[in-house]
């Protein structure tokens, strides 16, 4: 019944900071790590930037061309993403973080949660010390800063980590929840993006405090039962979601075509995606029963199709064959077929390979529950 103590660890401007570690001179200049789409020399988007670049408004998501224009004459540097390198740094850091509690959950390449309630014996002052220790440990071993949030649940811990960065540490004790949440704009709630924000504004709801007091029935009507309730709960700082290792449930790969097309060579464009997905499946010891396609039109609208397979697979052949069929059906559906800019493959209905019917051995069941106990 006593509140849990959850720690969120958020690695600061991760990709850009990784580049700064390799080349410390980069710390002195505006830096943008970019995803080049290959369409033209500069087409693509910015993935992550350091804080010097952010001062000029160069932030994630903006077109590379814009970033280049803004930073020209300012000594700015643009680098292409090196995912393998970031992954290796991430793996080592997550290994470090996970030593602080058996209740560990990695949310993304640069974020993780720990439930340290037992470890600090419900003591918030000890939790702060532990947070400092984690930050120092990561910095000593990897020369990388992170922001830490400590709170009674994952939602608040993440918002606390976001509250002061880079290199911050913020604590929200149970009795501080409303003073922390109430004045903030609804947009700061995890899960509230531009669309939901817009709808809330139309209801006259601007702050999290206002959302927390808003009639739940009206929220349910507008956002649906589930999401409506979720919004109300979040605004009151309620989140029971446990810190738990979550199995991967889907995998996807997407690429940008060299030029927009009504039809394209499935072989040539889809093969590398299918190959990569198959390798990933095998690497994780997983197999998939659902293959889907993702198509992004010239107008940046998303279309998707999916097919549940007769049997589980982890081979690039089956993935490729299924995806090709789905694309050919997508094109057939319309007279001319949609004009596509980007295409992708998605795998769903995943399961662990050593997890089929009869052989879900107690060994694995107990091992998993043990890890999260």
Partner DNA sequence: CCCTCGATCAC
Partner DNA sequence: CCTCATATCGAGGG
Annotated catalytic residues are 111
DSSP letter, residue 359: G
Q: How far is the CB of 181 from DNA (least distance, A)?
A: 14
Angle between helix 83-98 and 14-22 (nearest 10) = 100
CB 27 within 8 A of CB 50: yes
What contacts 96, CB < 8 A, 6 or more positions away?
Answer: 134, 137, 138, 141, 142
Pairwise CA distance, residues 361 & 142, whole Å = 38
- Residue 218's Cβ-count burial label (10 Å; 0-12, 13-18, 19+) is exposed
Q: How far is the CB of 25 from DNA (least distance, A)?
A: 25
190 lines the binding site for DNA (CB under 7 A): yes
308 lines the binding site for DNA (CB under 7 A): yes
Q: Check whether the bond before 256 is cis (ω within 30° of 0).
A: no
Q: Which stretch binds DNA (CB under 7 A): 68-76, 85-93, 141-149, 243-251?
A: 243-251
Q: Of these, 94, 254, 261, 282, which contacts DNA (CB under 7 A)?
A: 254
Question: Which is it for strands 169-171 and 146-151: parallel, antiparallel or unpaired?
Answer: parallel
Q: How far is the CB of 48 from DNA (least distance, A)?
A: 9
Q: Which stretch binds DNA (CB under 7 A): 89-97, 119-127, 167-175, 250-258?
A: 250-258
Q: How far is CA 231 from the centre of its chain?
A: 20
- The interface with DNA within residues 146-175 (CB under 7 A) comprises 158
- The interface with DNA within residues 265-304 (CB under 7 A) comprises 290, 292, 300-304
* Contact track, DNA, 81-110, x by CB under 7 A: ---------------------------xxx
State which residue, 250 or 361, has the beta carbon closest to DNA: 250
Per-residue b/e over 276-293, b at no fewer than 16 CB within 10 Å? ebbeebeeeebbbbbbbb
61 lines the binding site for DNA (CB under 7 A): yes
DSSP letter, residue 207: B
Q: Of these, 3, 27, 29, 37, which contacts DNA (CB under 7 A)?
A: 37
Longest dimension (CA), the chain: 66
Residues that bind DNA (CB under 7 A): 35, 37, 39-40, 42-45, 47, 60-61, 63-65, 108-111, 158, 189-197, 223-228, 230, 246, 248-256, 290, 292, 300-308, 341-342, 344, 346
């Amino acid at each position: 019944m006593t509140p849990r103590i959850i720690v969120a660890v958020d690695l600061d401007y991760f990709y850009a900071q990784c580049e700064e570690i390799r080349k410390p001179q980069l710390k002195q200049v505006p830096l943008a790590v970019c995803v080049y789409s290959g369409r033209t020399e500069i087409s693509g988007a910015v993935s992550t930037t350091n804080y010097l670049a952010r001062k000029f408004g160069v932030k994630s998501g903006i077109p590379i061309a814009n970033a280049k224009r803004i930073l020209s004459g300012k000594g700015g540097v643009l680098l292409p993403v090196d995912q393998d390198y970031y992954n290796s740094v991430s793996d080592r850091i997550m290994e470090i973080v996970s030593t602080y509690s058996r209740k560990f959950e990695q949310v993304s390449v640069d974020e993780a949660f720990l439930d340290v309630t037992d470890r600090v014996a419900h003591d918030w002052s000890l939790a702060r010390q532990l947070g400092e220790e984690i930050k120092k440990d990561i910095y000593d071993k990897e020369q990388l800063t992170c922001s830490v949030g400590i709170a009674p649940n994952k939602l608040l811990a993440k918002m606390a980590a976001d509250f002061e960065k880079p290199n911050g540490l913020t604590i929200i004790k149970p009795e501080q929840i409303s003073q922390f949440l109430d004045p903030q704009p609804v947009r700061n709630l995890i899960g509230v993006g531009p669309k939901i924000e817009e709808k809330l504004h139309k209801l006259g709801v601007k702050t999290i405090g206002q959302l927390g007091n808003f009639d739940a029935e009206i929220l349910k009507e507008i956002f649906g039962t589930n999401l409506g309730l979720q919004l109300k709960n979040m605004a009151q700082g309620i989140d029971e979601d446990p810190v738990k290792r979550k199995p991967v449930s889907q995998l996807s790969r997407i690429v940008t075509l060299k030029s927009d097309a009504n039809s394209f060579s499935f072989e040539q464009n889809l093969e590398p995606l299918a190959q990569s997905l198959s390798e990933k499946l095998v690497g994780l010891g997983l197999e998939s029963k659902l293959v889907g396609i993702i198509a992004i039109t010239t107008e940046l609208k998303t279309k998707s199709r999916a097919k549940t397979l007769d049997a589980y697979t982890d081979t690039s052949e089956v993935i490729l064959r299924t995806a090709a069929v789905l694309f050919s059906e997508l094109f057939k559906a319309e007279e001319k077929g949609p004009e596509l800019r980007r295409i992708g493959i998605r795998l769903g209905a995943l399961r662990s390979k050593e997890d089929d019917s009869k052989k879900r051995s107690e060994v694995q069941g107990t091992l998993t529950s043990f890890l999260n106990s």
